[in-house]
Structure 1
Amino acid sequence: MAIREILEVPDPRLKTVSTPVTEFDDELRTLVDDMFETMYAANGIGLAAIQVGVPKRLLVVDLQPEDPDAEPVACDHDGHHHHHQPTRKEPRVFVNPEILDPADELATYQEGCLSVPDIYADVDRPARCRVRWQDLDGNFHEEVMEGLAATCMQHEMDHLEGILFIDHLSRLKRQMALKKLQKLRAA
């Protein structure tokens, strides 16, 4: 397992259209393990392979919030403090995902992205959608998603087309967000 570097705007690789996964092999499993480790280390809820520089149609998602009752710091017998990774409940892998039947009704969520750090903005997306995908063994699955799950899936699947959430904003709002990001980086 390894934490991989997360690409950030304006890295041109984030505009790549990712290609389908065709080999369901150990290399894919290693990539998935690394993506989860990278996502958890960054406290994200979703990550697309292109965000770690791999242009494959692959997403990892874990919508479970960190356990509010968990002790953030554990003390070993030797007196050393160790910060534990947040425990998540539902790590999910989506290979070659597709959206079917997006609802006409829209829902608005404030979105952020590990590739656009510290910038948050409201985005309107279909409130429900059916998602079809493959698992790590290549088997197909379908599920109707709504709420945060639907938003998160659509946000992550945008990455596979080279689209970031700020691309859904008006030109003015997008420019303001990118200026804010530049200021934060300079600080």
Structure 2
Amino acid sequence: MAKKKSLRILCDVVLPEDTILIWDGSGGRFVDGDGNIYRPAQFNEDALQSIQAAINGEAYTLSLSLISISQSAADQIWDYDETNSVQGSPFIVKLQFLDWNDQPDGDPEVVFSGVIDNLDVADEADQNGIRSTVNIEITNRFTLRTVTNGAVLSDVDQRARSAILNPSAADDEFCKRVPLMRDQTIKWPNW
């Protein structure tokens, strides 16, 4: 029976002083086609659905949790965030298709990119010891169109955010065009 092709979910975390490369799974390290070495990490059970929703939707905050990591590694991540804030660091999710021998088949496909909005480390103690979880929230550029209290952005706010997010684009006139739609008439086709 022939072995089926598979894929790997790769994540690049570009921190101020370092880049962390991880893949979702357990086992050994994964070497991509360019020779970059990805460490294994276990995402929480809802990670695949969250990544799928992030790929399919524009305005989305991707929440990932790295589970089953050692307390020392979690402490190191927390210490790093305290000294060099990771907020605003780029986070890239890629899919790498593998051939029949679990080797990279072509270049990885970038399916989501954003910036780290929040990071926290949580510890749980049970009879087996301390289990640490690193929670990361990643936002993409479209998430900034909403305000945390649910209010609608004013024209001035929208233009300011648009200028920051896409400085090379023309002036955002979204707030000017929407009120004009009120006077439009929808015409249905006459079959």
- TM over 0.5: same fold? no
TM range (shorter): under 0.3
- Structure that is richer in helix per residue: 1
Relative to the length of structure 1, the TM-score reads 0.25
Q: Work out which structure has the larger RCO, using CA pairs closer than 8 Å and 6 or more positions apart in sequence.
A: 1
- Structure that is richer in strand per residue: 2
